[in-house]
Every structure is written in structure tokens, then in C-alpha cells.
Amino acid sequence: MVTGYCLVETTAPQGHELQADAIYFVVNKGATETVGLTNVTVKDVQRNAGFELPLTGGNGIWLILAAGGLLVVIGGGYYYVSKRRENA
């Protein structure tokens, strides 16, 4: 019977993500032999895959809101002038 172990990462190094899956390994030991160790490759993944995400809702949104507000004001002025000409 082979008994295996699972290594679960509970805290990640600073700037890295936690491992998504547990790492399974087996310790091989007989009655008279020492423990045989095997190499297990663990790949640390940097946080956000190593790049910074763009900021959303930054300063560019104010230009779009100002343009939309200007269009509303121009539309309201056009409506006011056309109604005034119609009633005259």
C-alpha cells in the first residue's frame, strides 16, 4: 500500500499568488532503507501574472461626460429656439 501526501499552500510569498491545486507526493521508505526523496517542481506565479491592470474610470471618463453634457445642452437649446420660432 502506497501512502501519499498532499501539500497545500496556505500563504504565498509576497507578490505571488497561492497555488490553485494541492501538490501530491509520496514518501518511499522500506524497513531498512532511508527515505527516498523525489523532486517536485513548484512554479510560483506572480500576482496579476506579472503585469499591472489598467485603471478603469480614470480621468478619461470626465471628457466623455463633459461631451455628453454639452450635447444635452445643445439639444435643449435647439428645442427651445425651434419652439420659439414655431410660436412666433
Phi/psi for 61 (5° steps) reads: -70, -30
Structural domain count of the chain: 2
pLDDT of residue 72: 97
| Residues 67 and 38 grouped into a single domain | no
| Residues 5 and 44 grouped into a single domain | yes
pLDDT of residue 44: 72
Residue ranges of the chain whose pLDDT lies below 70: 1-3, 28-32, 34-38, 48-51, 53-58
pLDDT of residue 57: 64
pLDDT of residue 78: 96
pLDDT of residue 53: 67
| Residues 75 and 42 grouped into a single domain | no
pLDDT of residue 70: 97
| Residues 63 and 86 grouped into a single domain | yes
This prediction's pTM: 0.36
| Residues 31 and 8 grouped into a single domain | yes
pLDDT of residue 73: 97
Question: Which residue range(s) make up the domain with 70?
Answer: 57-88
| Residues 7 and 34 grouped into a single domain | yes
Contact status, residue 26 vs residue 2, Cβ threshold 8 Å: yes
Nearest to 9 by CA among 1, 27, 21: 21
| Residues 44 and 68 grouped into a single domain | no
